[in-house]
């Protein structure tokens, strides 16, 4: 894949975000290349979700620059921002779906907000999105309480794709899933990313996801991205957190198994 020459889909420079006395992100900089799956890892409570939420305008920043799809968020008009909001989709870490709404209503939520199209057309688009994520017409009128964990994530992904976004933000999409469902979900993300040419920003703790679907990995530590690169670069890092995470026993078990099957 040739990614080098393209403008980054996301460009973040010297981002500072905090709450009261607590500085969470401290001059964080990162580029996400157009068309890549970037995995973001870091200690729990380290600011990964805050970072994601800041990029989509849900958390105010103190300083720094966020450029999404060529638009500097600080320089954009309200109309520009609203236009931009249609070009990304998000799967949040918690509360993936509205519990009082059916699958159909959940997936149609962003359509109602941003598209002035008929109910019939929304129903058609909804079915197409559900098919993309491996669900069907029988699931349309179910409530979230009737869905398995894996199905819930799939519906949330369908909702994230509702407006045909260019960027998808995923916050720990496979957490809480059993390994088989998580693996299937990873595969789905990769397939959709390839066919729809998405840029994917994915926060994850899942070593399998990092190994199997991420083009590059960015490590957030002490409020900054301390290392970014392909998996191989993680082994070469001298950063203590990166060393312990990727050199840990759990990690080496995964990676040695992968190496053995790839020979």
Please report whether residue 48 would count as binding ligand ADP according to CB under 6 A. Answer: yes
Q: Which of 47, 64, 150, 223 binds ligand ADP (CB under 6 A)?
A: 47
Please report whether residue 152 would count as binding Mg ion according to CB under 5 A. Answer: no
Please write down the long-range contacts of 108-115, taking CB distance under 8 Å and 24 or more positions apart.
108/162, 109/159, 109/162, 110/159, 110/162, 110/163, 111/162, 111/163, 114/82, 114/85, 114/86, 114/163, 115/163
Please report whether residue 42 would count as binding ligand ADP according to CB under 6 A. Answer: yes
Please report whether residue 108 would count as binding Mg ion according to CB under 5 A. Answer: no
How far CA 83 is from CA of 69, 73, 165, in Å, comes to: 11, 12, 11
Nearer to ligand ADP, 16 or 101 (CB): 16
Identify what 181 binds: ligand ADP, Mg ion, none; CB under 5 to 8 Å per kind: none
Identify what 159 binds: ligand ADP, Mg ion, none; CB under 5 to 8 Å per kind: none
Q: Which of 1, 4, 5, 19 binds ligand ADP (CB under 6 A)?
A: 19
Stretch that binds ligand ADP, among 31-39, 44-52, 157-165, 238-246 (CB under 6 A): 44-52
DSSP string, 192-205: HHHHHT-EEEEE--
Stretch that binds ligand ADP, among 48-56, 104-112, 121-129, 184-192 (CB under 6 A): 48-56
Judged by CB under 6 A, how many residues of this single chain contact ligand ADP?
Answer: 10
Residues with Cβ within 8 Å of 133's Cβ and at least 6 positions away in sequence, in order, are 154, 155, 157, 158, 161, 188, 192
Stretch that binds ligand ADP, among 37-45, 105-113, 191-199, 235-243 (CB under 6 A): 37-45
Helices then strands, counting H and E runs in the chain, come out as: 10, 10
**CA 185 – CA 188 distance, rounded (Å):** 5
Q: Which residues here bind Mg ion, judged by CB under 5 A?
A: 48-49, 93
């Amino acid at each position: 894949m040739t990614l080098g020459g393209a403008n980054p889909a996301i460009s973040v420079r010297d981002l500072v975000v905090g709450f009261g006395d607590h500085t969470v992100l401290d001059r964080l900089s990162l580029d996400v290349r157009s068309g890549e799956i970037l995995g973001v890892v870091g200690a729990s409570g380290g600011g990964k979700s805050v970072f994601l939420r800041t990029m989509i305008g849900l958390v105010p920043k103190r300083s720094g620059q966020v450029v999404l799809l060529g638009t500097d968020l600080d320089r954009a008009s309200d109309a520009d921002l609203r236009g931009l909001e249609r070009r990304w989709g998000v799967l949040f870490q918690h509360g993936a779906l509205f519990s009082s709404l059916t699958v159909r209503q959940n997936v149609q939520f962003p359509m109602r907000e941003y598209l002035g199209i008929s109910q019939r057309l929304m129903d058609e688009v909804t079915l197409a999105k559900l098919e993309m994520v491996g669900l069907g017409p029988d699931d349309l009128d179910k409530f979230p309480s009737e869905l398995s964990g894996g199905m819930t994530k799939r519906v949330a992904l369908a909702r994230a794709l509702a407006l045909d976004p260019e960027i998808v933000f995923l916050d720990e999409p496979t957490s809480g899933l059993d390994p088989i469902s998580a693996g299937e979900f990873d595969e789905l993300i990769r397939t959709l990313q390839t066919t729809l040419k998405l840029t994917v920003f994915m926060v994850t703790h899942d070593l399998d996801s990092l190994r199997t679907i991420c083009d590059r990995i960015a490590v957030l530590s002490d409020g900054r991205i301390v290392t970014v690169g392909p998996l191989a670069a993680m082994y070469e890092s001298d950063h203590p957190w990166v060393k312990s995470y990727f050199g840990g026993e759990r990690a080496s078990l995964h990676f040695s198994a992968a190496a053995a099957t790839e020979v």
